[in-house]
Amino acid sequence: MINLRLLALSGLIPAAAGAHAGAGVRTYLNIGDPAPSIAGVKWLKGVPITSFKKGDVYVVEFWATWCGPCKENIPHLTELAKKYKGAASIVGISIWESNDPTSSAYLDKVEAFVKSQGDRMDYNVGADGPEGKVGKEWMRAADENGIPTSFIVGKDGKIAWIGHPANMEAVLTQVIDGKFDVAAARSRRATDVETTRPIRESMAAKNYGKALKLIDAAVAKKPDQERFYTYDRLVAQYHVAPKDAMVASEKILEQSNGEIGAYRMIVSIFASQKDLTPSVYRYGKKLAEKALEKGEMKYMFLAMSAEVSSSLGEFSEAVKSQEEAVTAAESDTHAPAEFVQFLKKKLDEFRAQAKKAKAL
């Protein structure tokens, strides 16, 4: 999925389109809300959709000519249009094609693209106006920042579902049959937009202090959901409050009776995060050593230990651990062949690092 916020920063689309609606409470278009208008769309193929008729089901997908994943999804939409002909109307609306709200020159490019697709793009297709009104009233209003994104409009004219088109068909069938639980879907999306998404955004931005505050607020609101935030909380703590993270890690291991899965979850943090302090990495190596004593998933913990050594600048140690990881994986029938190849590739990288460090 192409992320709008990144494109806004690069200047490919107006930065305002990625702006958040409000600085405090997250307000957004949600499942169960009336579908916004699509008036102002320039129709390029198929039947122009001027309004959503009661009793009919629609799929409205937002895409762009510059979006690779969007173009890859075109045959899928054509397939759905044929399969559900008479039961649902498939609509593709091109958005974010121009940076100039006063010019419609981009329409020629979109129209040429649609024409070039021929039968490959066999459904109703339109393009948003230069001011991006439809994109704002749907995507921005729904707090959706990546394309392709699909909206299913139910027989009551309300949004029944929002998400990636690859996950859409099972829901579409239920909406057509009148069996989809819209209320449950609305609740799930509310949790995502109001709680989970802000945490993900903060983690991605490496704003770990904010992420911890959001996690604390989420747990205070729903204490029974605390376990779902364990990994992100630890990652954030290891960046800004490592002593707290170590205490929490020991508690997790104690409560799990040293279960290997708990070790794997915690040690993976040290292997995947490349901006932790040396003391944190050394703690991670100790946990990896304890996990190895259990004799389970040896190749996995050896590989993670190698990553930690690399982060510490101990490249010879990284090579040694990775060599042992490859040997262990090759003799473990549960190790996927592609993972063994991945380990070998990493071994080459560690050897190159060690060689470079030795030459300095």
pLDDT tens-digit map of 169-228: 999 999 999 999 999 999 988 888 888 888 988 999 999 999 999 999 989 988 988 888
- Distance in angstroms (rounded) separating the CA atoms of residues 329 and 270: 21
- Distance in angstroms (rounded) separating the CA atoms of residues 17 and 138: 11
- Distance in angstroms (rounded) separating the CA atoms of residues 162 and 140: 13
Q: What is the number of other CB atoms lying within 10 angstroms of the CB of residue 254?
A: 10
For the chain, give the percent of residues with pLDDT over 90. 76
The pLDDT value recorded for residue 196 is 85
* Residue 20 pLDDT exceeds 60: no
The pLDDT value recorded for residue 166 is 87
* Residue 123 pLDDT exceeds 60: yes
* 25 band by pLDDT with thresholds 50, 70 and 90: low
Amino acid in the structure at residue 92: G
- What's the pLDDT tens digit per position in 263-317? 999 999 999 999 999 999 999 999 999 999 999 999 999 999 999 999 999 999 9
Side-chain half-sphere CA neighbours of 37 within 13 A: 6
- What's the pLDDT tens digit per position in 226-259? 888 999 999 999 999 999 999 999 999 999 999 9
- Greater model confidence, 20 or 52: 52
- Give me the mean pLDDT over the 67-82 stretch: 94
What is the assigned CATH class of domain 241-359? mainly alpha
User: 311 Cβ partners below 8 Å, 6+ apart?
Assistant: 270, 274, 276, 281
Note the pTM of the prediction, 2 decimals: 0.64
Q: Where in the chain is the domain with CATH 3.40.30.10?
A: 2-191
* Residue 16 pLDDT exceeds 60: no
* 6 band by pLDDT with thresholds 50, 70 and 90: very low
- Give me the mean pLDDT over the 57-67 stretch: 95
Tokens of 213: 């505050």
Q: Which of 299, 280, 305 is nearest to 340 (CA)?
A: 299
- Give me the mean pLDDT over the 81-92 stretch: 97
Tokens of 77: 């939409």
Q: Which of 229, 228, 308 is nearest to 269 (CA)?
A: 308
- Distance in angstroms (rounded) separating the CA atoms of residues 147 and 99: 17
The pLDDT value recorded for residue 1 is 56
Phi, psi for 59 (deg, rounded to 5): -115, 120
Q: Where are the beta strands (DSSP E) in the chain?
A: 2-3, 42-45, 58-63, 89-94, 124-127, 146-147, 149-153, 159-163
- Give me the mean pLDDT over the 142-171 stretch: 93
Q: Where in the chain is the domain with CATH 1.25.40.10?
A: 241-359
3-class secondary-structure state, position 63: strand
Dihedral of alpha carbons 125, 129, 132, 133, sign:
negative
- List 146's β-bridge partners, or say none: 3
Q: What is the number of other CB atoms lying within 10 angstroms of the CB of residue 25?
A: 8
User: 159 Cβ partners below 8 Å, 6+ apart?
Assistant: 29, 30, 31, 32, 33, 34, 35, 151, 152, 153
Query: Domain spanning 2-191: which superfamily?
Result: Glutaredoxin (3.40.30.10)
